[in-house]
Chains A and B, each alone.
Chain A
Amino acid sequence: MKHISKFTSSTILVLLSFLSMAQEQNTTVKDSIKKDSIVPKKERYGLRVGVDLFKLTRSFYEKDYRGLELVGDYRLTRRHYLAAEIGNEDKTVDDDRVNFTTKGTYIKVGFDYNAYQNWGNMENMIYVGLRYGVSSFSQTLNSYLLYNPYPYFGQATEVTSGEPFNGLSAQWIEVVTGVKTQIFNNFYLGFSFRLNRLLSQKKPDTFDNLYIPGFNRTYNGNFGVGFNYTVSYFIPLYKATVKAKKTAAKKQQK
């Protein structure tokens, strides 16, 4: 709540400043051009690298799951970040009718747009973004049940298979929304929620891709959901002065 109220109030403030600017402009035309009294704000640019805590902790408490995801973003412009996630998952799914293990690696590349107007030297983010994801994985069908609606000769028993399916792949796009907050010097906590849309996949001949590393399960048609909870470290590379919109306005006048 605190963030949201800050966000709205800051946007209102920004809008108000535009109003006063319009008035100022009329006066500055008549007067000689005054020097900016505000000290130019400098913002830090750099690389942020981190790890998904959710996948990491899940690997400890869920015996059928092992996964790791490294996240990173690079600040390109004031509001745009180049973002990527790279991960590896090993998951065994024990369903009613099939039991299988999926192993694979994925990479997601895209950008984030920071919609949050920071106050002072804050470097927080409320962002939306897009990702393009690719996964390369293999599956092993551990066991399955044969569905027989007329078990006149007795119910089918579980069939142990162990059949491997290698060289599978999938591609998808993700719409990301999330937050990143600086908790202490250069350390950030982040949370993101993702909606995935599968674009294409290479399925095995005699099975299906029920779980795709990085994409998550595929039971709901071509749509999927995912999220991560990250802790990351910011490596500052350079500082850049915030370009005020006033300079652009001044240029127009000249």
Chain B
Amino acid sequence: MKKILLVLLIAFSFSACEKDDICTEETTPRLILEFYDISNPANTKNVVSLKVKGSGAFDDLDLGVFSGESKIKLPLNPTATTTKYSLILNSANTTLANEDFIEFNYTTQTVYVSRACGYKTTYQLNNQDGVVQSNAASPDVPWIQNLTIQTNSITTENETHIKVYF
């Protein structure tokens, strides 16, 4: 009897260790922007000191300054249906700096992932105004010359969602 009880106790203590307590699955995706050369649209083009900031960001923080990259990942606001980003190209140089705004309009979906992750949010860009570009209130011309939506549904970070030509 005691032996059986001991075996049961051991079995129960092990059952408490769960392998899937840590979320490892892909959850809420970010929006992937890829930059292309307007004069040679098949080629990607690296940005130079691109300062990215979302309006309404937590603690008013910058997302970051990107250099020598052609792909950036923008988190969307899961509790809203619109997210506006300010993209300042050549932000290191005060005379060359050029600020453009792009606004994403979308609907959100809640998708179950797992016990460890709970739920995630996926986004569906609106067909009409999925992405809207505007220029900052400065006399310069917009540096973004064209925007194309590659896919309206933002469910993973494995693909480019929007191509930006400049």
Contact = CB atoms under 8 A, between A and B. Distances in A.
Contacts of A144: 118-119
Contacts of A152: 54, 57-58, 61, 63, 75
Contacts of B98: none
Interface in A127-144: 144
A207 interface: yes
A115 interface: no
Nearest to B8: A193
Contacts of A149: 27-28
A120 to B, nearest CB: 20
Contact of A220 (B15, B113, B118): B15
A2 B12 CA distance: 24
B65 interface: no
Contacts of B3: 1, 4
Nearest to B57: A152
B28 A146 contact: yes
A3 interface: yes
Contacts of A64: none
Q: Chain B, interface size: which category? A: 35 or more
Contact of A145 (B12, B57, B63, B119): B119
Prevailing SS type, chain A contact patch: loop
B57 A147 contact: no
A151 B58 contact: yes
A151 B79 CA distance: 11
B90 interface: no
A62 interface: no
Nearest to A225: B15
Interface of A: 1-4, 95-98, 144-156, 159, 179, 191, 193, 206-208, 210, 219-220, 225, 227
Interface of B: 1-4, 8, 11-12, 15, 18-20, 23, 27-28, 30, 54, 56-58, 61, 63, 73, 75-80, 83, 110-121
Q: Across the A-B interface, give the 8 residue pairs with the lowest CB-CB distance, nearest first.
A: A97-B118, A147-B27, A153-B77, A150-B75, A152-B75, A154-B58, A148-B28, A147-B117
Given A153-B78, A155-B58, A208-B114, 15 more contacts: A1-B2, A2-B1, A4-B1, A95-B115, A98-B118, A144-B118, A145-B118, A147-B23, A147-B119, A152-B54, A152-B57, A159-B110, A193-B8, A210-B115, A225-B11
13 contacts: A96-B118, A98-B118, A146-B121, A147-B119, A150-B28, A151-B75, A153-B54, A153-B76, A154-B58, A154-B79, A208-B114, A219-B115, A225-B12
